[in-house]
Amino acid sequence: MTRQEGTDVALKLLHTADWHLGLRFPAVEREQEVRLTRARLEVVGRILDLADSRNVDAVLCAGDLFNDPRPEEEWWKGLLKEFQRRSWTRPVILLPGNHDPLTQNSVYAPRDPFRRGLPAYVYVVDRDDFTLELGTTAVVYATPCRSRAGQTGLAASLPAREPGDDRLRIGLVHGQTFDLKDHQTTFPIAKNAAIDRGLDYLAIGDTHSFREVEPDARVPTTYPGAPEATKFGETDAGHVALVFFPRDRARRALVERASVSVWKWKEVSCGSLEELRQLRADESLRKTVLRLTLDMRLPLHEYDEATRILTELEGSLAAHPKVGVLTTERDRLRLDVTDSSAFTEGLPDVLQSVVRRLEAKAAVEPEKAERAIHHLFRLVQEGR
Amino acid sequence: MSDVVLHAARSDRSEEFATALGPDFEKQPNRIWDRARSVGEVEAELRRLRESMEERRQEVERVRARTTGLIETRFDDAVKQVFGQIAEELPTILAELDADLERVVIAYLRANEVPHTVTRQVSRKTLRIPPTVHLPAPLSEGLTVAIGQAKRLEDGESLHMAHPLVLAALDEARTAGSGSFSVRFRLTKNAPAALRNRSGARGRLALTRVSYRGFEREDRLAATAVFEDAEVLRPAAAALELVRMPCEDITPPAPALVLTPADLDEVVDEELFFDQTQATQAEGDAFEKAIDQLDQYMEDRLLVLRRAREDTSVRLRDAEEKRSAALGADARAKTEGLLRQLEAELEELDANVERLIARDDDDYGKWKTHAHKRRYEPPQAERLFDLEFVIA
């Protein structure tokens, strides 16, 4: 049931932002990159399904939905498909952000095939004075970004509440609040903008972690964050905001974060073989983007086990990888060559001599010597 | 359990190893023989083949041992644990079910002024109802039912969910028990503090059945009580406790409640909206598992294609070497044909790999849509009744 059908129940919204469709991940292998880029589209399906499941009255998408104003066909067509397979009357509002600003040839331009293909329930914020009424009791005001950077306070440009207007007023803009440390602010949003403009909720986008700007403020201003993280360190990414407006205006809108992400991003540093073994036992790694840093010096048998564990994590033609997307820093995984010749016992003299020479060479060219000793060790083990 | 799942090993594992190596394994000796130009080369190639086979054998053994270990340690334990838990919890659950059935049936009989007696034995109770006009046929002829353990039951029949008496009681409760009422609750000694503290308070209460039809079918009862001062009764479990308290019908309280039905509706709406996150937590886990299995299925198919691609690449390299060594136009033409065929095979395999990586696959799409539909199926909320209440 939607607000358009004239029900007099409290208003419910789903607020999302920062999909960054088409974002590339050049640091990982191509196939893994495909998984991550595809997940960004998959999560949009989850978000729209969640909106259905929670029977919200509208979906607000607060900018940076594409990573670029002219995304590749795969991304805008994929998004279009998600919209077209739903026969909704529930409005979905798409706001151009600083990554996908509203320009003459952007994906939001009136003649663009993406824009032309959008079903009637999807609205694009293509005017500075964009207004959409949600039934008779609520209204959304929005202003788009028109460039990649700017100093205009878009929230401040939203219309103030007129005397006698007792509708629920929701603001929708993209930009940065002032309180982000060490950030150069673009499209600044003042902390008190929501109250200044007489809003009941200010839906914003830009920061990739879920965050209520002032949790105790009378009017919530919320970043839902990116529904899929874009890089390591975005600790609270992977959510959307579900907002419930009680009919009693004395009460504040209630905001709940709902998890939607496919991938978890994790940085792990292993300083011992035991830590690496524990990591291998983690069953959740299949849906994890893992940056693994190894910092350990191991005797030959343990070094060999460590490399086998790494093969398990990475996968091979014999077995699936244990980790969904893996990048490994293994420069500091070193072989302790002391007493490494123990494994040559019983082998021909020539092999024993080779290992002794490699041990000596480790002082000059450690990496090459360590690799050679390990290869030899493997060959001998397989021969036995 | 793992032997059943993985197929019990009969002797040496040569058969399963050969299967794991794939059909190409048998062709390799012939290929070596065709390609080698001296006995020394044959020996060297066979040595290389033996080494690579040994490597693959070890890998197969290792994966098998690991899989067996995982199944034995996790699956066996998990199954034992589940059965143990069922054995432990079942008597309590059955006793609770019997108590609920008794409560429903006795309330029905009392409401309809049906004379009845309940006698208690060690493991069950016996409910006797003489012939009465207050019950529908065939119950009107009188009956004796046992509530509790049905073992060695001689007198009467066991009371169960599908028994006509239970069905009649439920039917009556549904028709007479829905709508709007005014009641006075009398708190029992074991009423929670949240209720005892509100003695004399008035308010409105709604009982809603919320039906989830996702991966699991679940019906949840949500009781929402709001006092006249607009305070919502917390915790939510206390509102359910209030519904269970004895009550009597009263005339609508005077003066009329300030709190309107619309106020109650709003709180119900809010409670249901936020309860959905908690209620669907298990659904979320089941959904992620289903999607993960689906991805695993695609990865399995990809692995098979990649192995085939690897084999084709080896054959292509062999063919290229043969072409280089071919003497005469006929021999070269023959190898050229094979080369073209292998290149086409490789191209097709590459295209299929790309297609599966992009998840461009009808089966995948169908099952993914199905999983999404189950996960995000909106719940159905049905208001069973609402009350104006006074707590005595």
Could you tell me how many CB contacts below 8 A there are between chain A and chain B? 74
Main-chain dihedrals φ then ψ at residue B63, nearest 5 degrees: -65, -40
Supply the pLDDT for residue B36. 62
Q: Is the dihedral of CA A354, A360, A364, A370 positive or negative?
A: positive
Mean pLDDT of A148-172: 90
What is the band of A153 on the pLDDT scale with cuts at 50, 70, 90? Answer: confident
Residue A330 in this model has a pLDDT that exceeds 60: yes
Closest to A61 measured CA to CA, from A177, A198, A203: A203
State the pLDDT at residue B236.
80
Residues A179 and A280 in one domain: no
Q: Verify whether the Cβ–Cβ distance A55 to B60 is below 8 Å.
A: no
Looking at the structure, do residues A129 and A61 belong to the same domain, yes or no?
yes
Q: Could you tell me which residue, B186 or A340, shows the higher pLDDT?
A: B186
Q: Per the domain annotation, does B19 fall within a domain? A: no
| Contact with chain A for residue B275, Cβ under 8 A | no
Percent of chain A beyond pLDDT 90?
68
Task: Give the per-residue pLDDT at B10.
Answer: 41
Which of these, A96, A139, A130, lies nearest to A3 by C-alpha position?
A139
d(CA A137, CA A249): 12
In a domain, B266, yes or no: yes
How deeply is B275 buried, as exposed, middle or buried, from its count of CB atoms within 10 A (0-12, 13-18, 19+)? middle
Least confident among A172-186, A276-290, B139-153, B278-292: A172-186
Spatial CB neighbours of B312, under 8 Å, sequence gap ≥ 6: B342, B345, B346, B349
Token readout for B379 is: 């719940």
Residue B194: CA count within 13 A, CB half-sphere: 15
Domain limits for position A250: 3-259
Q: Which residues 70-99 on chain A approach chain B with CB closer than 8 angstroms?
A: none
- pLDDT at site A282: 92
Same domain for A54 and A112? yes
Per-residue pLDDT, A318: 83
Q: Is the peptide bond before A366 cis (omega within 30 degrees of 0)?
A: no
pLDDT over threshold 60, residue A341:
yes
Question: Helices (H) and strands (E) in chain B — how many of each?
Answer: 12, 9
**Is the CB of residue B307 less than 8 Å away from at least one CB of chain A?**
yes
B35 within a domain of the structure (yes/no): no
Does residue B116 fall inside a structural domain? no
Q: Which of B227, B245, B239 is nearest to B189 (CA)?
A: B245
State the nearest Cα–Cα gap between A178 and chain B, in angstroms.
31
Q: What is the pLDDT of residue B315?
A: 93
**Last residue of one domain, picked from the residues A241, A259, A277:** A259
Return the half-sphere exposure (C-beta side, CA atoms, 13 A cut-off) of residue B316: 14
A 10 A CB-CB count for B74 gives 12
Q: Which amino acid is at A159?
A: P
B376 and A49 within 8 Å at the Cβ level: the answer is: yes
Model pLDDT for residues A101-114, shown as the tens digit of each residue: 999 999 999 999 99
Q: Which of A255, A287, A226, A270 is nearest to A36 (CA)?
A: A287
> Looking at the structure, do residues A172 and A244 belong to the same domain, yes or no?
yes
pLDDT at residue B97, rounded to an integer: 87
Does the distance separating the beta carbons of B357 and A31 come in below 8 Å? yes
Let me know whether A203 and A284 are in one domain: no
Residue matched to tokens 């609040």: A177
Helix or strand or coil: residue A74? Answer: helix
Residue in this structure with the two tokens 């006995």, named with its chain if needed: B39
CATH number of the domain at A158, please. 3.60.21.10
Residue B208: domain span: 178-392
pLDDT at residue A198 greater than cutoff 80 = yes
pLDDT at B213 over 80: yes
pLDDT above 90: residue A279: yes
Structural domain total, chain A: 2
Q: Is the predicted pLDDT of residue A259 greater than 80, yes or no?
A: yes
Q: Are both A209 and A288 inside the same structural domain?
A: no
Residue B272 and residue B279: Cα distance in Å, rounded?
10
- Please give the distance of CA A176 from its chain centroid, rounded to a whole number: 18
The DSSP H or E segment spanning B85 is: helix B77-111
- The 10s digit of each residue's pLDDT in B36-60 is 666 677 777 777 777 777 777 777 7
* Closest CB from A52, A317, A319 relative to B378: A52
Number of domains in chain B: 1
| Same domain for A200 and A344 | no
- Name residues whose C-beta falls within 8 Å of residue B72's C-beta, 6 or more positions apart in sequence: B1, B2
Closest CA to A247 of B337, B264, B15, B38: B264
- Indicate the average pLDDT of chain A: 90
Q: In this model, does residue B19 exceed pLDDT 70?
A: no
Q: Which H or E run contains B221?
A: strand B217-227
Nearest to B142 by CA among B158, B129, B157: B129
How far away is chain A from the Cα of B233, in angstroms, using its nearest Cα? 17
> pLDDT band for position B12 (50/70/90)?
very low
Report the first-to-last Cα separation within chain A, whole angstroms: 71
Residue A89 to residue B124: CA distance in whole angstroms = 57
Mutate to test the interface with B, among A9, A263, A283, A308 (most CBs of B within 10 A): A9
Arithmetic mean of pLDDT, A256-281: 95
- Between CA A134 and CA A113 the distance in angstroms is 27
B190 lies in some domain: yes
What local confidence, expressed as pLDDT, does residue B6 receive?
Answer: 45
Mean pLDDT, range B183-204, rounded to an integer:
90
Alpha helices in chain A (DSSP H): 30-53, 73-84, 113-117, 193-196, 273-280, 300-314, 349-361, 366-383
CA distance A180 to A178: 6
pLDDT tens per residue across span B108-149: 898 888 899 988 887 788 889 999 888 888 888 988 988 887
Q: Give the model's pLDDT for residue B8.
A: 44
Nearest alpha-carbon partner for B187 in B226, B237, B243, B252 = B243
Choice between A125 and B274, residue whose per-residue pLDDT is larger: A125
Confidence of residue A193 (pLDDT cuts 50, 70, 90): very high
The percentage of chain B sitting over the pLDDT mark of 70, rounded to a whole number, equals 87
Q: Which helix (H) or strand (E) holds B323?
A: helix B281-325
Do the chains contact at A12 and B277, CB–CB below 8 Å? Answer: no
Largest CA distance in chain B: 112
B9 pLDDT tier (thresholds 50, 70, 90):
very low
Chain B CA closest to residue A381: B55
Same domain, A324 and A180: no
Least-confidence region, from A90-94, A109-113, A127-131, B72-76: B72-76
- CB contact set of A100 (below 8 Å; sequence gap of 6+): A63, A64, A65, A66, A67, A68, A69, A71, A106, A107, A108
Q: Which long-range contacts (CB under 8 A, 24 or more apart) does A106-112 make?
A: A106/A69, A106/A70, A107/A66, A107/A69, A107/A70, A107/A71, A107/A76, A108/A69, A108/A144
Burial class (CB in 10 A: 0-12, 13-18, 19+), A53: buried
Residues of chain A positioned with their CB less than 8 A from the CB of B284: 259
Residue entry with tokens 């033996």: B50
Residue B161 lies in a domain: no
pLDDT at A187: 85
Token match 């009693």: residue? Answer: A248
Tell me the whole-structure pTM to 2 decimals: 0.77
User: How large is the average pLDDT for residues A21-25?
Assistant: 94
Which three-class secondary structure state does DSSP give residue A32? helix
Give the model's confidence band at A3: pLDDT under 50 very low, under 70 low, under 90 confident, else very high. very low
Q: Which two tokens stand for residue A156?
A: 């401040």
Asked if residue A8 has pLDDT above 80, the reply is: no
B273 to chain A: which residues are within 8 Å by CB? 12, 54, 242, 244
Q: Which whole number is the average pLDDT over A284-292?
A: 93
Nearest residue on chain A to B373, judged by CA atoms? A49
Query: Which residues are registered as beta bridge partners of B206?
Result: B224, B386
Inform me whether the pLDDT recorded for B333 exceeds 70.
yes
Q: Indicate yes or no: CB of A318 within 8 angstroms of CB of B310.
A: no
* Residue A165 exposure: Cα atoms within 13 Å on the Cβ side: 15
Residues 6+ apart with CB under 8 A from B14: none
Residue B113: inside a domain: no
The answer on A242 and A297 residing in a single domain is: no
Last residue of one domain, picked from the residues A259, A282, A302: A259
Q: Over pLDDT 90: what percentage of chain B?
A: 25
Q: How far is A143 from chain B (nearest CA, A)?
A: 29
Assembly ipTM: 0.80
Which of A214, A242, A259 marks a domain boundary? A259
Alpha helices by DSSP H, listed for A176-324, are 193-196, 273-280, 300-314
- Gap between the Cα atoms of A224 and A210, Å rounded: 5
B303 with A320: Cβ contact below 8 A: yes
> How far is the C-alpha of A40 from the C-alpha of A22, rounded, in Å?
8
pLDDT band at residue A182 using 50, 70 and 90 as cut-offs: low
pLDDT of residue B7: 44
Same domain, A246 and A301: no
Q: Do A64 and A92 share a domain, yes or no?
A: yes
- Range in A19-23, A148-152, A160-164, B314-318 the model is least confident about: A148-152
Nearest to B63 among A52, A53, A318 (CB): A318
Omega prior to B246 cis, within 30 of 0 = no
A16 pairs with which residues across the strands? Answer: A61
- Within 8 A by CB and 6+ apart from B81, the residues are none
DSSP letter assigned to residue A252: P
Q: Is residue B6 part of a domain?
A: no
Chain B environment of A49 (Cβ under 8 Å): 372, 375-376
Tell me which residue has tokens 């524990």. Answer: A278
Give me the amino acid identity at B28: Q
A208 and A304 fall within a common domain:
no
Instruction: Give the residues across from A244 on adjacent strands.
Output: A12, A254
- Residue B85 binned pLDDT confidence (cut-offs 50, 70, 90): confident
